Chain A
Amino acid sequence: MEPLLMLNHINKSYSLGNEKVQVLFDINLHVYPGEFIAILGPSGSGKSTLMNIIGCMDTADDGEFFLSGEAVHQADDAKMTRIRNQHIGFIFQRYQLIPKYDVLQNTIMPLLIRGVSHKEAVQTATEKLTLLGMGQRLHHKPSELSGGQQQRVSIARALVGNPAILLADEPTGALDSKTGQDVLQLFQELNDLGNTILMITHDPGVGKKAQKIVRIVDGHLYQNNEQLLS
C-alpha cells in the first residue's frame, strides 16, 4: 500500500541573527491510510516545526514531501494553499474558530473556500456537526460554547472537507482532563471510521491513545522506543 504521507530526508533550519539553527534533522516518516499516529515530544523538540511542514504552512530546506501523491516540496504558495484546503483537516490546540462567525459559518468555511455551493456546504457541515453532537448549536458564536464544544466544532470543520489526513496539534492541550478524554475518544471513533489521524502532543498519556507513537527529540525523529533508548 502506498503511504498517504511521505517525508524523506527533511531538514529545516532557521536563521537567528547570523546564527543558523537547525531544528529538524533528516526526518523520515511514512503515514498509511487509516493510521492514527502520535508524534510525541517535549517543547523545543521541533515538533511544531514538523507540524507546520506537514500542514503545508512552512517549507523544508531540503528533502521530499508527498501528500496524497502531490509533491509538496515542489509546490509554490498557491499550490500549498490549495493542498491545505483539499487534503488537510486542521485541529488546533486553541480551536482557532473565528469569533464573529457562528458555528455553522465556521464549519462551512473550508468548503466555501473550495468553491462548493453554500447550500451543499451547509448540508455537509450540518451532518458533521450533528455527528459530533453540535447539531443544536449551529447558530451559536464560539464565545457561547465551552472549550470541549469549541473543539468539537473545530473537529467538524476539519472533517467537513473530507481531507486525506486530520492534523491535530495538541488537541487536548486547552481542555480539562475529562473533556480531553472525550476528545481522544472521539478521535478513536473517527479513526475507526477510517480517518487517518496525525496527532502532535507533548503528553505521553495522550500519545498512548494512538495506534503508533513516533518520538521527536532535539529535531530527530525516532520511530520506535529502541532507537530512542539506544
Chain B
Amino acid sequence: MALHEILNLVWINIKENKTKVLLTSLGIIVGAATIVIVIAIGLGGQKDVQDQFKNLNAGTITIADNSGSSSSFGRGGFPGGGMPGSSGRSGGGGGFPGGMMGGMMGGVQQIKKTTFTEEDLEELSWFIPNLAQITLLVNGSSDVEGGTLEDSLSSTIAGVTTDYADITNLELLQGQFFTDTDNEDMERVAVLGYDAAVSIFENVSDAYNSVININSKKYTVIGVLSETGSTVSDITLDSAIFVPYNSAVKYVLGSSNATPKIIAVADDVNQMETTISDIETLLAELYPKGSFTVSDAGSQVAASQQSANTMSILLIAVASVVFVVGGIGIMNVLFVSVKERTREIGILKALGSSRKDILLQFLLEANFISILGGIIGVAAGYLIMPVVRLSGMSVVASNTAAIIALFFAIFTGTVFGFYPAWQAACLKPIEALNHE
C-alpha cells in the first residue's frame, strides 16, 4: 500500500479521535516543554558562569588565609627574611630562614589572623617570576552616606592596590583608577562600581568628583566603573566601592579585622600548577603556622561550569523520566486502540493488508501523536520561558533545544508505539474479524 494512502488512513483515524489524540500527546507535550526549558535553564546557568568570570583573567590566582588564625609574630619575623631577598638573587635564600624564625617564634605566641602586607607582595613577585601582577585586596562592609542618599547605605568596601584594575580588567566609565601614590599616601579617594554609583547618586554622571562619606570620613569619587555583572574573589564589582588598600586598612576596615587576600596574575597559564605549588612553598616558609588557600581562576571557572553542567544533566534526567511516562501513556492508548480496532484490523487483513501496512499505520499514528505533542510542547516551552525568567533564573532559548525535544518526542513515539503496532500487525484475521 502506498505510503501516502497509509498516511491518509492515519489522518482519518486522527480526525475521528481528536480528543483522544490530544490527551495522549499530553505526556509528550509536557516532556518536550520540560526539555526546552531545562536546556534553556542549563544554558542560562552556563551563561551566568561565563558572565560571572568574564572579568577574571584565566591566570588569576587568589591567595586567602584559610586558618583565620596565625601568628602576628610570624608576620613580624618576615621582614627580616624579606629584606635581603629584595636586595639580590643570592639574598633570596636568606629570606626563608628569617621567615621561618619568625614563624617558629609566632608558634608560641597568641593566635591571630595573618594580615598580608605589601612586603608579602614584593616577596612573592621576587621569588615567583611567573607572577606578572599582584595586588592586595581587603574587603568588608561599611556605611556610606552622600549623594542623594537620605539614610546611610551599607556597602561593600574593597581596599585594593593599583594592579587590581588591570587584574580584573576593570573598565572606567568616568574618571580614573587610583595610583600607587594614592595608596602610599593613604589618599581618601574612591572608585564606585556602577550599581553603587546608581544607588548613591541616582544619576551616574553626578558621581564623578563628588564627595561621599565612608565610615564618616570624606572620600572624593575619582572614577565610576562600567557595568560588568561579574564577581571576582567574592566581590560583586558593580555594587562595590573601591578605595586604596592602605586607606581601607587605616580608615575603613581597621587593621585588626582586615583579612586581606592576595590576588596575582600568572604570566604563563600553562605553568599554573608549578606556580601554585611555589606560592604554597613560599607561604609555608613565610608563615609556618598559617594555612592558605591558593586557587586559580581557571579551576574556579571549571568548577562552576562543572556544577552548572551537573545541574543540566540532572534536569535532563528529570525530562527523560517525563518522556518515558509520556511514552508509556502513548503505549497504553495504542494498546486500547488496537483492542478497540481489532475488527477493523481483521477487515483490513481479510482484504489483504500486509503486516507491514498495518504496522506502519499504527506506528505512524503514534508518530503523529508524538510529533504533535513535540511541536505543542516546544511552543509551550517557549511560552513558559518568560515566566521562568520572572523567577530570576537565567534562561537562554536555543534552537538546538527545540530540535532535541522534537527528536526525543518522535523517538519516544516510535519506541513506545512499536509494540502495540506490532501486536496489531500480528493479529490473526479470523480472530480479529470475529472480535466483538
Contacts and interface: CB of A to CB of B under 8 A. Distances in A.
Interface in A109-153: 109-110, 112-115, 118
Given A112-B2, A112-B5, A100 B16 contact: yes
B430 interface: yes
A84 interface: yes
B12 A84 contact: no
Contact of B350 (A78, A84, A100, A105): A84
Contact of B13 (A52, A92, A100, A157): A100
A68 B346 CA distance: 24
Nearest to B357: A113
Interface residues of A, number: 29
A157 B351 CA distance: 9
A219 interface: no
Contacts of A81: 349, 352-355
B347 interface: yes
A58 interface: yes
A98 B108 CA distance: 98
A187 interface: no
Instruction: Give the most central of A81, A97, A157: most B CB within 10 Å.
Output: A81
B429 A57 contact: yes
B344 interface: yes
A175 B433 CA distance: 19
A107 to B, nearest CB: 11
A155 to B, nearest CB: 14
A113 B353 contact: yes
B113 interface: no
Contact of A98 (B344, B349, B352, B354): B344
Instruction: Give the most central of B347, B354, B355: most A CB within 10 Å.
Output: B347
Contact of B351 (A58, A105, A113): A113
A55 interface: yes
B380 to A, nearest CB: 30
Interface string B396-436: 00000000000000000000000000000000111001000
B221 to A, nearest CB: 79
A90 B351 contact: yes
Nearest to B345: A98
Instruction: Give the most central of A55, A82, A112, A118: most B CB within 10 Å.
Output: A112
B343 interface: yes
Nearest to B13: A100
A84 B125 CA distance: 93
A86 B429 CA distance: 16
A202 B300 CA distance: 88
Contacts of B346: 96
Interface in B362-405: none
A34 B353 CA distance: 27
Contacts of B430: 52, 57-58
B433 A115 contact: no
B5 A82 contact: no
Contact of A113 (B1, B343, B428): B1
B341 to A, nearest CB: 9
Contact of B433 (A96, A105, A109, A157): A96
B352 A114 contact: yes
Given A52-B430, A57-B430, A96-B343, A113 B16 contact: no
Interface of A: 52, 55, 57-58, 77-78, 81-86, 90, 92, 96-101, 105, 109-110, 112-115, 118, 157
Interface of B: 1-2, 5, 12-13, 16, 343-344, 346-355, 357, 428-430, 433
17 contacts: A57-B349, A81-B355, A83-B352, A84-B350, A84-B351, A85-B352, A92-B433, A98-B348, A100-B12, A105-B12, A109-B348, A110-B352, A113-B1, A113-B351, A115-B1, A115-B2, A157-B351
